[in-house]
Amino acid sequence: MPPFPRLRFAPSPTGSFHLGGLRTALFNHLLARKWGGKWLLRIEDTDQTRLVEGSVDEIRSGLEWAGLNYDEGPVVGGKYGPYFQSQRLDLYHSHTAELLKKDHAYRCFCNPAQLAEIRLRLVNNGSMAGYDRTCRTLEPEEVKHNLSLGKPHCIRLSTPDEPTPRFNDLVFGNPSPNPVPVDPIILKSDGYPTYHLANVVDDHAMEITHVLRGEEWLPSVPLHLTLYSAFGWEPPQFAHLPLLLNEDGSKMSKRTGVGAFVSEYREQGWEPETLLNWLVLAGWGGRRDPYGNQDLAKTPVYLSIDEDLIERFDLRNFTHRRSVLAPGLLAKLNRPHIHAKLSDPRERRKIVEKMLPIVKSHFPDSPNANYEFVEKALLALEHQLDKLGDFPSISGYLFQEPDYNDPAVVMAKKAVGSFDSTACLKRAQEELASLEDSQWTEPEIKRALDGIKQEVGGTKKLMSALRYALTGGKVCFSLQISAG
């Protein structure tokens, strides 16, 4: 272990903040805190054609929401900045000049038509090289002449004709490495570096000791090691995290699929701590507690981010199998977390204060849209909440009279059945009206309803009719509580 571990989360702002990105940030956070090191946020925005406006703000906001506070990066600052790669072009140019001086790189003046012809010829000859090193052997005078004419060019790395570098990955062990591409471009004709050059230069300049990133970058490691060797630098340790999969086994893509983005979970009202637990447990296959033998499908284990996870997190326990995210497990983790928060007066106050404006926006004319009533309603309904975002939809009958013409309410009426619910309700009303004010307690209401259940066709019919009349739906909390 280096004396001062340094890690980084380096997303590209090319779309919405993905769950895979949040997991990568989480793992960097956990290991940095566990090892007594630091982690930074670096924005890899060198591919100017793919930038999406607002992505950087969404990444920063998502990290803040999740409680993952980086030590260095945009806004926070730090001595290794700037933390946007687009603001570090001079650094990449100077290091590229160093490679040119050492003959580890060269200028390539091939235009797109020439490159297409070269690739076609190589493919026809059975080669997957991609480039034939045409410009690698240009004489210095020809290079000077082309530069004097202002001829567009890129800069390519001179890859050595040596065996592919092997390496140890902290998750995947010793994978079979992909061949290093033949003389890949490292600085494009527009002056921007490729991902590979910028990544290696920045990790070295920022003194990164451990690189944790997605599995999709595993094939790039041999090229990165070749760059480290060309510069004469010591590479960091690598750990590649398995891809996240949907429950059906398909890839949780950045561009397709519902539930792939952090913003969706925020908007739906999931607890950030639960989401982080869910992502961690998926790394162990989503089934077993990594710190015990419990079957998480039956007994989910919730671990606090700032204590349990930091103390117990260990990459050696991480599987290299691709991780399936099971939505059912997220709900199982979230329910007890909501209960724990509502049981703590301080946390409960935060939740009520968070939910109150939401309730007021849904039910602006309700006299019950106040702090005290919302608090009571949350406590009464907590066992029906998979997430706090469900509260407005399942509590509507507490804040306004049901609209019995609403399609959802009509469907609920059909579910009650074909029996005479009106007669059933009339009989219940008569029985409850006979109660004295002092008898409006849960035991007395239950006794009164029990006394007529056989008369009206049984408990199921009585309760179904009452639920529909009181709530316009099929489900609510205890009817004794509702009636009170």
Residue 54 lies in a domain: no
The SS3 of residue 322 is: coil
Mutual angle of helices 55-66 and 19-35, in 10-degree steps: 50
pLDDT digits (tens, 9 = 90+) for 142-161: 999 999 999 999 999 999 98
As a whole number, mean pLDDT of residues 455-477 equals: 74
Note whether residue 452 is domain-resident. Answer: yes
Phi and psi at residue 269, to the nearest 5°: 90, 25
Reply yes or no on whether the pLDDT at 178 is more than 90: no
Cα 58 from Cα 56, distance rounded (Å): 5
Cα gap 43→54, rounded to integer Å: 13
Instruction: Specify the DSSP element, H or E, that contains 212.
Output: strand 210-214
Q: What is the mean pLDDT of residues 315-338?
A: 83
Q: Which stretches of 248-312 are DSSP H helices? A: 262-268, 272-282, 310-312
Residue 178 in domain? no
pLDDT grade for 300, boundaries at 50, 70 and 90: low
Which residue would you say has higher pLDDT here, 281 or 74?
Answer: 74
- In angstroms, the CA 148 to CA 169 distance is 46
Q: Is 80 exceeded by the pLDDT of residue 404?
A: no
Within-domain flag for 481: yes
> 309: which DSSP letter?
I
Q: Which two tokens stand for residue 477?
A: 């909390």
Q: What is the pLDDT of residue 410?
A: 63
CA distance 360 to 371: 10
Give the bridge partners for 39, in sequence order.
7
The pLDDT score that the predictor gives to residue 288 is 47
**pLDDT-based confidence at 480, cuts 50/70/90?**
very low
Give CA–CA dist 207/222, Å, rounded.
20
Catalytic residue ranges: 254
Please give the C-alpha separations between residue 398 and each of 349, 376, 378, in angstroms, as whole numbers.
Answer: 20, 11, 11
User: 287 near 295, Cβ under 8 Å?
Assistant: yes
What CATH number corresponds to the domain at position 461? 1.10.10
DSSP 65: H
Distances 462 to 93, 366, 425, 428, 457 between C-alpha atoms, Å:
79, 28, 8, 8, 7
Does 429 map to a domain? yes
pLDDT computed for residue 307 by the predictor: 72
Angle at 419 between CA 407 and CA 461, to 5 degrees: 90
For helices 221-231 and 195-205, the axis angle rounded to 10 degrees is 60
Q: With a cut of 50, say whether residue 309 has pLDDT above it.
A: yes
8 Å CB contact between 239 and 170: yes
pLDDT for 484: 40
Who's near 420: CB < 8 A, 6+ residues apart? none
Range of the domain at 415: 402-484
Looking at residue 310, its pLDDT comes to 84
Measure the CA angle with vertex 172, ends 168 and 175; round to 5°: 65
Which of these, 74, 89, 76, 104, lies nearest to 202 by C-alpha position? 89
pLDDT tens for 322-333 read 778 888 889 988
Q: Give the side-chain half-sphere CA count within 13 A for 311.
A: 6
pLDDT at 299: 52
Give me the pLDDT at residue 483, please.
Answer: 41
The percentage of residues in the chain with a pLDDT greater than 70, rounded to a whole number, is 88
pLDDT at position 6? 98
In this predicted structure, which of 13-27, 110-124, 215-229, 430-444 has the lowest mean pLDDT?
430-444
- Does a structural domain hold residue 50? no
> What single-letter DSSP state applies at residue 11?
-
Give the 3-state secondary structure of residue 395.
Answer: coil
Average pLDDT over all residues of the chain: 87
Tokens representing 439 are 């008898």
Q: Output the pLDDT for position 419.
A: 59
Does the pLDDT value for residue 44 go beyond 60? yes
* Tally of structural domains, the chain: 1
Contact 154, 185 (CB under 8 A): yes
Please indicate, yes or no, if residue 415 is contained in any of the structural domains: yes
- The tokens describing 386, both together, are 């998979």
**Tokens read off for 266:** 């925020």
In a domain, 464, yes or no: yes
- Give residue for tokens 């950030």: 272
Q: For residue 204, which amino acid is it?
A: H
Q: With 50 as the cut, is the pLDDT of residue 124 above it?
A: yes
